[in-house]
Amino acid sequence: MTFAYLRSMDQTHISDADSGYHFNVMRRAIDLIDEAEDTLSLDALAAEMGMSPAHFQRIFSRWVGVSPKRYQQYLTLGHAKALLADRFTTLEAAHTSGLSGSGRLHDLFLRWEAMSPGEFAKGGAGLTIYWGWFDSPFGLALVMGTDKGICGLGFAAEMGQDWAMHDLVRRWPHADFVEDPMRLRPWVLAAFGAEDAELKQAPLYLIGAPFQIKVWEALLQIPSGHVTTYSEIADSIGNPRAVRAVGTAVGRNPVSWLIPCHRALRKSGGLGGYHWGLPVKRALLAYESARVEA
């Protein structure tokens, strides 16, 4: 498997041709908000971005559904603490109330199955994994899938394309990898909620150890716009002392966004880690919070 030619390949857009551009604008906004001592006005933030206030407002309203001023509140470093106070979800409550179903705005009617432990131990031997790059609402996304469903999804905005490719490929060292974005495109359209998606379901094929699968299944119970903690996940899978192991399993989630590992926070309100970069995690949480309110 080689990676040197990735930058020159065509990318398949999943919905809005400007979606990757919108993410880059938002990523720059995160830096500006972090550097500012006070809340930036629409005019000031737009000026820093080199845009007119009207254009800047139009981009954000189209991308996330709320004004830049309101969205800025979701990008602050204290947003995670606010989520824990206002939208903390115990996994038991999420399950019994049905929040893991219709209450998840980006649920996308996922169906999933897990590889057997024996298949996992083979490291992907005999398995063909198709891959492609797609422009997503959160920047360039690498998506991988088998005949059964999406098995890998990562973001390159912070870590770079070569790193993202290497990271996902090394998880299945004995698999055969075939570039075929058009094969994956219908699933990706459904996964990101594109308006022109023809499918109602984005199938997932989870490739992981049994403990990891348990953690990922727990993550799937967290509704969009809500968060939980690593310790809550440990409790929910019947192993309350395994908080550190849960954190490791969360970090090993191969299907970011769809298995919402970004919704797991520390008890203190800290963001914790995120495999694809903390700015992306903040963007995901802000995006979902804004859409819930909108």
Look up the pTM and report it: 0.78
The full DSSP string for 23-55 is HHHHHHHHHHHHH-SSPPPHHHHHHHTTS-HHH
What is the predicted pLDDT for the residue at 99?
39
Q: What is the pLDDT of residue 9?
A: 38
Alpha-carbon gap, residue 212 to 218, rounded angstroms: 10
Residue of 14, 188, 213, 261 marked catalytic: 261
Average pLDDT of every residue of the chain: 78
Query: Would you list the DSSP string of the chain?
Result: ---TTGGGS--EE-S-TTHHHHHHHHHHHHHHHHH-SSPPPHHHHHHHTTS-HHHHHHHHHHHHSS-HHHHHHHHSTTHHHHHHHHSB--HHHHHHHTTTTTT-TT-TT-EEEE--HHHHHTTTTT-EEEEEEEEEBTEEEEEEE-SSSEEEEEE-TTT-HHHHHHHHHTTSTTSEEEE-HHHHHHHHHHHTT-TT---S--EEEE-S-HHHHHHHHHHTTSPTT-BEEHHHHHHHTT-TT-HHHHHHHHHT-SBTTTS-GGGEE-TTS-----TT-HHHHHHHHHHHHHHHH-
- Give the best-scoring range by mean pLDDT among 3-7, 38-42, 214-218: 214-218
Mean pLDDT of 132-155: 92
Burial class (CB in 10 A: 0-12, 13-18, 19+), 290: buried
Highest mean pLDDT among 95-104, 195-204, 254-263: 254-263
Of 31-45, 97-111, 256-270, which one has max mean pLDDT?
Answer: 256-270
* Per-residue pLDDT at 10 exceeds 60: no
> Would the pLDDT of 190 be above 70?
yes
Q: Quick check: 269 and 228 in contact, CB under 8 A?
A: no
Torsion of CA 260, 190, 150, 97, to 10 degrees: 40
Segment 151-164, tens digit of pLDDT? 999 999 888 999 99
Residue 217 has pLDDT above 70, yes or no: yes
Determine whether 200 is exposed, middle or buried from the number of CB atoms within 10 Å of its CB (0-12, 13-18, 19+): exposed
Residues 83-89, mean pLDDT to the nearest whole number: 67
Residue 156 confidence (pLDDT): 92
| pLDDT score, position 174 | 94
Closest to 155 in 3D by CA, of 72, 34, 17, 279: 279
Q: Is 70 exceeded by the pLDDT of residue 107?
A: no
Task: Identify the structural domains of the chain with CATH numbers, from first to last.
Answer: 6-12+82-293 (1.10.10.10)
Instruction: Give catalytic status of residue 261 as yes or no.
Output: yes
pLDDT beyond 60 at 108:
no
Higher pLDDT, 280 or 183: 183
- pLDDT top residue among 82 and 1: 82
